[in-house]
Structure 1
């Protein structure tokens, strides 16, 4: 996990530090592709999903619960490691945590989508997957403000892929992730004088946000009949 995060973090750093979500959107897509497709010894979402399904004797809901639990733990671990000693309060640590959290959460949502019968090679589904990273409140807020036109389910089952919407969603997700990391930095700064407490706060925040996103994806990505992309 750390190796994959470092692989992309160096590219994400300049855009993240300028708080320019649109500039970082292209790099976020690379992060998401690694999470979905896998990278070297880092298994992709489909492989993780099938492994959990086999261990759950074919019970899809049990497999989804297992996927979510696994990624909550992963999010907590990567959050703890990048937050110890106040490292997340330094500008250089922000991209590493941002990247690691995105990889964990996207792979979780993509695995849930696969278990529900969605085709992860479909660009509509990939856009829906990253939309889920906004969480239920984030999506609802953007729908209300019209900065997001529709729900993850509607995006995944749209008649055609919309590249403009894909770029818009990517920008919104990067902005949301940066906002979350910035909020966590403030919490850790308050606790920096207590040994290891900063790491515990980081782990708790990342684990909780991952739980909420997994819960939202589970509720949103209901099982649907796949529809082919129109030419």
Structure 2
């Protein structure tokens, strides 16, 4: 196990060192734009949400469940990153699996927000979408430590957009994503000598994480009346 730990540390340390808060914010902005606007053969959040809503005959609850189910399956498919129309060629300074999973989870949360009536062009909502990637436990832990001062709902409905909070959350989310990849790589390293097990573990980890993020977003982003940004 000591060898596994050294492998994980040596693989991820260079990536972690690159992410000052400003750099983290830039990376997540790019990921979020792809998730919301789409990229080549990867439809954006609003298109996905509206499609599910139509298929569910206008039932928002059923549409949200369908969005989550779709993204759990997508996250669990091995090699899904390479199927997203050139995604791996983008200049995003994160490992390909982490980038692809972050895009999928961001799109899922953004689609849920859209279905609940939030404006995805609102920077407050975009910050809330990113915050949801921390998951329930991640948000709760950071609220206890005061490294996060607001819940996703409070951020999405705040009177004004807070750029400093956005940068802070971006750093926290990138650190969380790198930590998840660390745990996943450790599990894959342990199981890689067992035929088929490594792939199953990787798919299971990504699918389970996506499920937890989707459930947290569903519970957090309740339907609210939109408020304009104060200048």
1:18 alignment partner, SS class: helix
Aligned counterparts, 1:119-198, within 5 A? 119-198=119-198
In the other structure, the counterpart of 2:38 is: 38
Q: Distance between the aligned counterparts of 1:50 and 1:187, measured in 2?
A: 37
In the other structure, the counterpart of 2:215 is: 215
Aligned counterparts, 1:49-88, within 5 A? 49-78=49-78
Decide which moves more: 35-44 or 184-193.
35-44
Q: Distance between the aligned counterparts of 2:81 and 2:110, measured in 1?
A: 24
2:52 alignment partner, SS class: helix
8 Å contact from structure 2 (residues 81, 97) kept in 1:
no
Q: Distance between the aligned counterparts of 1:17 and 1:177, measured in 2?
A: 10
Q: Distance between the aligned counterparts of 1:121 and 1:80, measured in 2?
A: 27
- For the aligned residue pairs, the C-alpha RMSD in angstroms reads 2.0
In the TM superposition, residue 80 of structure 1 has moved relative to its aligned partner by 7.6
Q: 1:21 to 1:79 in 2, by over 3 A?
A: farther
Query: How many residues are aligned here?
Result: 209
Structure 2: which 5+ residue stretches go unaligned? 1-11, 83-93
In the TM superposition, residue 146 of structure 1 has moved relative to its aligned partner by 0.4
In the TM superposition, residue 17 of structure 1 has moved relative to its aligned partner by 5.1
8 Å contact from structure 2 (residues 72, 208) kept in 1:
yes
In the other structure, the counterpart of 2:113 is: 113
Q: Which runs of 4+ in 1 moved over 4 A?
A: 78-82
In the other structure, the counterpart of 2:206 is: 206
In the other structure, the counterpart of 2:15 is: 16
Q: 1:81 to 1:158 in 2, by over 3 A?
A: closer
Q: Distance between the aligned counterparts of 1:130 and 1:145, measured in 2?
A: 19
Structure 1: which 5+ residue stretches go unaligned? 1-12, 83-93
In the other structure, the counterpart of 2:8 is: none
In the TM superposition, residue 40 of structure 1 has moved relative to its aligned partner by 2.0
8 Å contact from structure 2 (residues 76, 206) kept in 1:
yes
8 Å contact from structure 1 (residues 113, 221) kept in 2:
yes
Compute the TM-score of the two structures, normalised by the length of structure 1: 0.86
Q: 1:27 to 1:112 in 2, by over 3 A?
A: same
Q: Deviations over 1:79-110 (max 9, x none)?
A: 6889xxxxxxxxxxx71011011000000000
Q: Deviations over 1:166-224 (max 9, x none)?
A: 11111100000000000011111110101221111010000000000000000000000
